[in-house]
Structure formats: C-alpha cells, structure tokens
C-alpha cells in the first residue's frame, strides 16, 4: 500500500519516518515512539528502516505503537499554526502548571482527556472470530522489540508491536488531531514547560495479570538510552528523541517525571515523552537489550501489555495473536489476529477468496480493477503523512560522494514517467522531504526537472569524460558502474530500478540491479550501508518536518546516505525548539532548500494511499483527511466481521 502509518503511540510519536517494509504501497516511515498509541514513527516505507528503512509507511512503525514524533504540527493539521506549539515562554502551554485530567474520562484543565475503556461492541456485532492481514512484504519482522533498531524498524514491526505493546503516558488521536492521556490518569506541567509529571493508572496490567509499574518504565528507559558496553550497537530509531528526555520515577506515588533538556513546541515535547513505554522488567531483567540470540523476548515476547498476546510467530510464514484478557481497555472484538506474508500476485486474491480480511498494500497496477470488484472494498486516503518515494545516494563512496554525479542522475529521472510506469499514475511529484499537503512544504526548492542535456552538461562541467565505447569514466579513469538496491517485494521499486538502468545508460553509467527479500535488503542498506543507490520510501508517523531529522542529521539512526552538514544539524535543532509557527516554517524552508541542493536524496513523488478489505469487515471509519489504518488508536479492536 502507499502509506506509512505510525507505530502505536510510541512509535507514532517518534520523530522519524518509517521505512517501508512492505511491498508496493509500503513506506519507510519515521521512528516513533514505541508502542501504544498513536501509531505511525518511521518507517515505513520500503524497508522499514528509515526509508531505506523508513516513513515507512503506513504504519510504519507507527503501529507498533510507536511514536513518531508528533512534532509541531500536530499532524499537520491544516495550517502551520496547527502546531500547538505554544510554549514559548515559561508558561509553555495551556497545560502549564495544571492537572490535565481526573481519573475519569473527560477533559481536565489542560483540555487533555483521559482515554476511556473501550465502549461495548455495536449492537448485533458478532464477537470473536479471526481477522487476517496479508502483507506484500513477503516476510514478517524478525524482531518484536518495543524499542526497535533502525535496521529492524519496518511496517510489520509497527503492526505487530501495536498489537502486543502498549503504555505511553499520552497518545495522539489521528481522527481529531488531539492528545489524550493513555496510561496516565493526570498530567502536570511545570511553569517553565520543561517538566511533565504523570500519575500511572491503577488498572493497567501485563498479560500475566501482574500490574504495570513505574519501575517497568524506568527499566525500559534506562536500557533504551544506553550507549555503552552493554549496548554498543544501540541504534533505536527514536534515540534522538529519547535523548531529549530524562525520566525519574517514584514507586510510592506511582509518578513518572519527564524532564526535557529544553523548551520545545508542545506537540514535539509530548511526542518525545510518548516514546517511553514499559517492558516487564521482571521478565527482561538480566537479558541483553539488543541481542536476540540471547534474549528470546525480542523475537517472541511472553509477557506483553497490548490488546493481543503472541500465540506463534514465524517471520517466514505467519504470526498468530490471541486476545489479551488483561488488556486495560477491555477485550477486543476479534479473538485472533493473523499476519501473513504475500506477494503481488496473491494479496488481492486472498481478499477475494476470503483467505484474508485486510491488505495494507497492493500493487497500483491492480487498483482500477479492485475498485470495481464487489469482492473487495478499497479505501482511499490522502494525508499529510502519506508515503513518498526517494532515491538514496551512498555518499560514503565514489563517485556518489561527488555532488555533480548525484545532480546529473537527478536530471536523468523523469518523475512523470516513473509515476505512470511504477505507480499506474497514482502519485504526485514531490520535491522535498515535506509532503506537498503540509503547511511546511517549501515550493521554492530545486526540482531537478527532467533534462538529459542538463545531466550530460553537469558531468562534463565537472570533468567527467566518455571513453570510445560511450562509458562514463570516473576520476580513477575506470568506467562507472552503480548498483541499485531495492526490496523485491515492491514491484514499483523493481520497475524503478529497471528504469534507472535504462536512463543512466544514456549518461554512460552502467547500472546493476540488486533486488533482495525485504529483511535482507534492510540488513544490506540500513545496517551494513553496503550499496551505491537505494530505492526508499518514507511516510507515516507524526506529520511534522522534525520527523525527517533521523534521516538527515549527522548522527541520525536512519541516515542511510551518510550525509553530514552542520547547518542541517543546527536547523533541525532550532526547528524543534521554535514555538512561533511562522519562524518554524522559515527554518524548515531553509532545511528543505539545503537538502535538495546537497541532494543526498532525490525526492520523487508522493503516493496515493489505499488499502483493501473484505467487504464483510465493518466498523472501519476514516480519520484525518480520510486516512485510516488498522493499527492506529486501537481501531482494529473495534472492527468486526459481519456474518452472512
């Protein structure tokens, strides 16, 4: 599908985009918080790692509860001012110094409501049964960590995590663009807007019936933020956000106090806090935090706190989840949820034949036929955090460390042709890391409009020459050959790789296509950085420009190109702290211009988003701008299948 949804709340709040792990419509997406509520934060477009791993896509990450970052645009609501930002002075926000809410549902002094338990199923709605989701990714996530690493952050991680992990203090509601208290029954904000104190709810439990404690939050935070000998490879996708927060807990009062290292736009501040979710310390204690070979809880958690528990999970086959009788919001309608891998030829067929109820992605070439097929219900949506595709250049190696080569390739790519070829026309040109629907989008950036003559002249002006056979020679005098990496589960990316092979041949550049299964692709590109050019997708997560920082700043966990520019580092730091909407826009306008000019990425186009349901699935309702996703705001727990 063409979308990237945030991990649950946590992932959803994480300020990063999810790398799409799915197939054709998958995005990469920005990291998100980790688990519960909001959904969306990174990746997940193509490969679940930030773009190469990332925004992704549709839920990328989000769904695993993630926190994407909710940054200043509170989901980009409609105007730049939608950034609730306000916290410029010591007062910081309307919640400053107040108690957000009482222990019952309703708004408190801050206007933030306490999330209620689930309402009863609709009258006549059958309870029980199985809901089956099929994915184009082919493979499921190999790791189900509530704090996923950059190389594990994919659509399937987000979706699975959203079912089993829960617990952020607050969550972002994507249906009304407002914040709610989730695992907290109240919230107090200091007068300087740096300290947020929450009281843990009394009714939250682990799946084994034991209570969730503030010690479980402290244990998770202390491990997730470590960068020492115990966690030498800590590349948690939300690490940049987590570093902005210090957590102190008090078991006697059941309070959690989050202290920010500075004043941030209100939405961003809440998104940073939302990254923190608990893990059952009594189960995890003594096990390594990021070593799946020694910690089986990373691949098949035995004690969780989401709406479902794991019955079985095989990344090569399927995952089976059973309703958690101890989930604090109440029993979900479906008794069982099944995740299956699929392919471009089988996903829609599974819906038509009743073998699956939901496909968050299917090939755009099948869109027109699916829309008119009575055995399939196709939902369309378009939102400010929709998925977009990119070309990523590995700037660590020649010749792509030469800007002239990257610029020349940019001019050799015709977006209009690619949208028709790879997406069946279902897309819109995009020229920066900000979605064109966002109030932060800068229209005045370098677009690199298709022009082969300009591409050839750029290379010639930079001193590159052709040999007698028409091969472009590098600075070492040898013919240039580039390898394009992509996940074979995404047919649009397969087509794009072939297109690049044809186009760059006209510049004298030989191209080898390097397609791999999704998890192998992520390992190669995101973890090992062993590629020349990667085809990525980003999206999902909180629709704020801050979400892209993980891909752009020097030490970003999803910075696949190896890009480094102090000015960009400074601009993202300034943008997160600026609370004036107009000044914020000016900051991100500048960041968009610099990134497009330096071109570690070529931003291609924004995808139309759609997914498919069995028509018998009821209760599906659109959210912001028509968007909807099974793994956002506990939506799936209220769906049901109408019996014949």
Per-block mean pLDDT, blocks of 10 residues, the chain (644 long):
34 41 38 32 30 28 28 32 32 36 39 80 86 83 85 76 95 83 96 96 98 98 82 77 96 98 91 96 93 91 97 90 96 94 89 93 90 93 78 98 98 97 93 90 96 98 97 97 94 95 98 92 91 89 83 91 98 92 95 98 92 92 64 88 82
Give domain status of residue 643, yes or no. yes
Q: What is the reported pLDDT for 490?
A: 87
CA atoms within 13 A on the CB side of 145: 29
Residue 440's Cα: distance from chain center in Å? 19
Question: Of 585, 488, 500, nearest to 546 (Cα)?
Answer: 585
Q: Is residue 261 one of the residues assigned to a domain?
A: yes
Would residue 355 count as lying in a domain? yes
Q: Which residues contact 453 (CB under 8 A, 6 or more apart)?
A: none
Q: How far is CA 211 from CA 207, 282, 304, 504, in A?
A: 9, 11, 11, 59
Residue whose tokens read 């957000």:
100
Specify the pLDDT at position 175: 74
Q: CB under 8 Å to 565, separation ≥6 — which residues?
A: 554, 594, 598
On whether residue 94 sits in a domain, the answer given is no
Query: What is the 3 state secondary structure string of 539-564?
Result: CCCCCCHHHHHHHHCCCCCCCCCCCC
Residue 101 lies in a domain: no
Residue 197's nearest CA partner among 188, 209, 208 is: 188
- Please tell me the distance from the alpha carbon of residue 167 to that of residue 435, in angstroms, as a whole number: 29
Token output for 568: 């960009």
**Overall number of domains in the chain:** 1
Amino acid 111: pLDDT = 58
- C-alpha span between 41 and 35 (Å, rounded): 10
The CATH code of the domain that includes 518 is 3.10.105.10
In a domain, 90, yes or no: no
Nearest one of 542, 55, 582 to 267, comparing CA atoms: 542
C-alpha distance from residue 269 to each of 66, 78, 111, 265, 486 (Å) = 15, 20, 16, 6, 35
- Take residue 424 and report the two structure tokens written for it: 């069946």
| Peptide bond just before 399 cis, omega within 30 deg | yes
Helix (H) / strand (E) element for 179: namely: strand 178-181
Give the C-alpha separation, 2 to 23, whole Å: 9
Question: Strands 472-473 and 195-200, how do they pair?
Answer: unpaired
Cα distance between residue 609 and residue 364, in whole Å: 10
Q: Is 102 a domain residue?
A: no
If DSSP states are collapsed to H, E and C, what string results for 501-538? HHHHHCCCCEEEEEEECHHHHHHHHHHCCCCCEEEEEE
Q: Measured between alpha carbons, how far is 362 from 374 in angstroms, rounded to an integer? A: 17
**Per-residue H/E/C for 390-415:** EEEECCCCCCCCCHHHHHHHHHCCCH
Structural domain boundaries enclosing 163: 1-75+127-644
Q: Is 184 helix (H, G, I), strand (E, B) or coil?
A: strand
Q: How many whole angstroms separate alpha carbon 38 and alpha carbon 60?
A: 11
Buried b (16+ CB within 10 A) or exposed e, 351-378: bbeeebbbbbbbbbbbbeebeebeebbb
Task: Decide if 525 contacts 51 (C-beta within 8 A).
Answer: no
Distance CA 445, CA 434 (A): 11
d(Cα 304, Cα 493) in Å, to the nearest integer?
36
The rounded distance, in Å, linking the Cα atoms of 418 and 412 is 12
Residue 277 resides in a domain: yes
Strand (E) positions, 397-509? 427-429, 465-466, 472-473, 481-487
Model pTM? 0.71
Nearest residue to 66 via CA among 18, 37, 42, 33: 33
* Cα–Cα dist 444/421, whole Å: 27
């Amino acid at each position: 599908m063409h979308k990237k949804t945030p991990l649950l709340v946590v992932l959803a709040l994480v300020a990063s985009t999810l790398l799409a792990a799915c197939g054709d419509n998958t995005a990469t997406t920005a990291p998100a918080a980790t688990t519960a509520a909001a959904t969306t934060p990174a990746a997940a477009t193509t490969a679940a790692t930030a773009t190469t791993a990332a925004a992704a896509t549709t839920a990328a990450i989000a769904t695993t509860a993630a926190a994407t970052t909710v940054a200043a645009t509170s989901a980009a609501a409609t105007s730049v001012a939608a950034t609730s930002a306000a916290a410029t002075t010591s007062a910081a926000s309307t919640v400053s110094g107040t108690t957000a809410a009482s222990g019952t549902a309703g708004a408190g002094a801050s206007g933030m409501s306490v999330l209620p338990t689930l309402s009863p199923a609709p009258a006549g709605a059958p309870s029980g049964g199985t809901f089956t989701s099929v994915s184009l990714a082919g493979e499921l996530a190999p790791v189900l960590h509530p704090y996923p690493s950059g190389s594990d952050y994919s659509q399937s991680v987000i979706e699975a995590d959203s079912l089993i992990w829960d617990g952020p203090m607050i969550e972002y509601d994507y249906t009304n663009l407002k914040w709610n208290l989730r695992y907290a029954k109240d919230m107090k904000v200091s007068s300087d807007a740096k300290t947020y104190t929450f009281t843990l709810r009394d009714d939250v439990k682990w799946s084994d019936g034991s209570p969730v404690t503030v010690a479980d939050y402290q244990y998770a935070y202390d491990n997730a933020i470590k960068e020492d000998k115990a966690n030498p490879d800590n590349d948690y996708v939300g690490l940049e956000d987590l570093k902005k927060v210090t957590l102190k807990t008090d078991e006697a009062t059941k309070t959690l106090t989050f202290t920010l290292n500075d004043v941030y736009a209100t939405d961003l501040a809440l998104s940073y806090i939302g990254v923190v979710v608990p893990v059952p310390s009594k189960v995890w204690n003594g096990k390594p935090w990021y070593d799946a070979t020694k910690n089986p809880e990373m691949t098949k958690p035995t004690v969780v706190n989401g709406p479902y528990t794991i019955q079985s999970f095989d990344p090569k086959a399927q995952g089976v989840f059973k309703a958690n009788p101890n989930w604090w919001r109440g029993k979900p309608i479906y008794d069982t949820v099944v995740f299956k891998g699929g392919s471009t030829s089988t996903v829609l067929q599974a819906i038509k034949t009743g073998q699956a109820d939901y496909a968050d992605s299917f090939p755009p070439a099948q869109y027109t036929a699916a829309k008119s097929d009575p055995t399939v219900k196709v939902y369309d949506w378009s939102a400010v955090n929709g998925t977009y595709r990119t070309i990523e250049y590995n700037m660590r190696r020649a010749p792509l460390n030469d800007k002239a080569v990257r610029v020349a390739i940019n001019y050799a790519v015709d977006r209009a042709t690619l949208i028709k070829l790879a997406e069946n026309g279902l897309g819109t040109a995009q020229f920066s890391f900000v979605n064109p629907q966002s109030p932060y989008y800068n229209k005045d950036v370098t677009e690199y409009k298709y022009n082969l003559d300009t591409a050839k002249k750029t290379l010639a002006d930079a001193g590159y020459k052709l040999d007698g056979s028409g091969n472009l020679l590098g600075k070492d005098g040898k013919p240039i050959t580039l390898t394009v990496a992509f996940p074979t589960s995404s047919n649009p990316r397969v087509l794009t790789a072939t297109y690049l092979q044809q186009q760059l041949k006209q510049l004298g550049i030989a191209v080898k296509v390097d397609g791999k299964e999704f998890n192998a692709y992520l390992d190669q590109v995101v973890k090992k950085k062993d590629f020349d050019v990667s085809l990525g997708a980003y999206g999902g997560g909180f629709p704020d420009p801050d979400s892209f920082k993980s891909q752009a700043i020097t030490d970003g966990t999803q910075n696949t190109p190896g890009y480094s520019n102090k000015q960009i580092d400074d601009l993202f730091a300034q943008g997160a702290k600026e609370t004036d909407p107009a000044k914020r826009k000016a900051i991100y306008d500048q960041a968009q211009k610099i990134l497009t000019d330096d071109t570690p990425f070529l931003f291609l186009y924004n995808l139309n988003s759609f997914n498919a349901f069995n028509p018998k699935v009821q209760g599906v309702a659109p959210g912001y701008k028509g968007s909807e996703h099974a793994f956002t705001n506990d939506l799936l727990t209220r769906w049901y299948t109408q019996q014949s």
